A and B are shown apart, each in its own frame.
Chain A
Amino acid sequence: MGANEMTLEFDSKSQNESFARLVVAAFTARLNPTIEEIADIKTAVSEAVTNAIIHGYGKEEGKIQIKCRTLDQELMVEVIDQGVGIEDIEKAKEPMYTTRPEWERSGMGFVFMETFMDSLEVESQVDKGTTIRMKKKIGGDKGEKRG
C-alpha cells in the first residue's frame, strides 16, 4: 500500500480535542482497522492533545501539530507542541502522577497512550516544547485480546 502522510495544525483550544482525534481516526480508516483499534487510537490521540493543551500551553494559547504517516499496516502519529516542555519525563509517565490535581487530572494519560498503542516515545525540552510519537500496527495482533 506504500506510505501516506498528513499534517494538521490547530489552536490549543479544548473544543479541538474531539476534532483532532476524529481526523486521525479517519486518516487511519484506509488500513481497515477494527472498532477496538479505532477506539485505541482515538483515546491515545485525545490524551496527547489534552496534555499539549493543559500542560504544554496551560493558560497560554499556541499551535498544536499532528503529523500522521501510514506505511503498509502501521500508523505513526506525532503530536507536537511548543509549550513549556516536561522536566521529568519518567515521572510524568508514572500512573496517577499529575502536576495538576486541582484540575482533576487523573494522571493516567501516558498509561493509556502506552497501553493502547504499540510504542510511545516522548521528546521534550523545557521551554521549547514536547513531541509525542506513537506507533500502532493495524490488524497486526488480531489474536491478542487486551485489557
Chain B
Amino acid sequence: MKHLTESKTSFQIMDQCLVIYMKDELDHHEALALRERSDKLIDKENIKHIIFDFKGVDFMDSSGIGMIMGRYKKVIFIGGKVTVTSVNSSVDRIFRLSGLYKIIEKYNTVKEALEAL
C-alpha cells in the first residue's frame, strides 16, 4: 500500500486500484490539476480501477463530470471500473442530472467500494 499526499488531494494505491481522496471544490481549475496527477499514476502504476472519494468535496460543476468520464475512458478498455464514494446531496444531483450513474457506481464508503470490486 502506498500513500502519496499532495497539497490538497491524496492518492492511495492498492494492487491495481487507485483511490483519489478529493478536497474542497472540483471545478475546471481543480479538474485540470487532478487530471494530470491521476493520469501519471494510472500509467505508471498500471491502474485498472479508480475510486473517487468525495468526502471532502462540497462543490462540483460540469468540469468534474468531464474529468471522471475522461478517467473512465482510460480504464474501461482494460476491464476496469470507476466508482464514486461519500457523495453529498449537491454533488449527487449533478451526477444524476448528467446521467453519470449509467456508467459508474456509487458507494457510501471507500471500504464498501473496494469490497465490491
Instruction: Across the interface, name the chain B residue whose C-beta is closest to A98.
Output: B66
Contact A147 B96 (CB under 8 A): yes
Q: In the complex, which residues of chain B have a beta carbon less than 8 angstroms from the beta carbon of A105?
A: 62-63, 66
Contacts of B32 in A (CB 8 A): 14
User: Taking chain A's interface residues, is the majority helix, strand, or loop, or is none over half, making it mixed?
Assistant: helix
Chain B residue contacts of A54, Cβ below 8 A: 28
B29 interface residue per 8 A CB criterion: yes
Q: How far is the CA of A140 from the CA of B93 in the complex (A)?
A: 20
Residue B98 lies at the interface, judged by CB distance under 8 Å to chain A: yes
- B114 proximal to A (CB < 8 A): no
Which chain B residues (1-43) contact chain A, with CB distance < 8 Å?
Answer: 25, 27-29, 31-32, 35
Specify which chain A residues have a CB less than 8 angstroms from the CB of B94 in the assembled complex: 43, 112
Instruction: Say which residue of B27, B35, B66, B90 sits within 8 Å of A18 (CB atoms).
Output: B27
Query: What CA separation (Å) do A53 and B93 show in the bound complex?
Result: 25
Of A14, A43, A106, A107, the residue contacting B29 (CB under 8 A) is: A14
Interface centre among B35, B70, B93, B96 (most CB of A within 10 A): B93
> Is A42 in the interface zone, CB < 8 Å from B?
yes
A17-B27 CB under 8 A given contacts A46-B61, A111-B97, A147-B93:
yes
Residue B57, interface by CB 8 Å = no
Cβ contacts B37-68/A at 8 Å (1 or 0 each)? 00000000000000000000001011101110
Q: Does A47 contact B (CB under 8 A)?
A: yes
Q: Is the CB of A108 within 8 A of B59?
A: no
Contact with B along A100-125 (1 / 0, CB 8 A): 00011111110110010000000000
When the two chains form their complex, are residues B27 and A39 in contact, meaning their CB atoms are under 8 A apart? no
Query: Which chain B positions have C-beta within 8 A of A50?
Result: 27-28, 61-63
Chain B: minimal CB distance from A61 (Å): 15
Is the CB–CB distance between B62 and A147 below 8 Å? no
What are 21 contact pairs spanning A and B, CB under 8 A?
A14-B28, A17-B29, A18-B25, A18-B27, A18-B29, A39-B90, A43-B59, A43-B90, A46-B28, A47-B61, A50-B27, A53-B28, A104-B31, A105-B62, A105-B63, A106-B63, A106-B98, A108-B97, A108-B98, A109-B61, A112-B97
* Chain A contact residues, CB within 8 Å of chain B: 14-15, 17-18, 36, 39, 42-43, 46-47, 50, 53-54, 103-109, 111-112, 115, 146-147
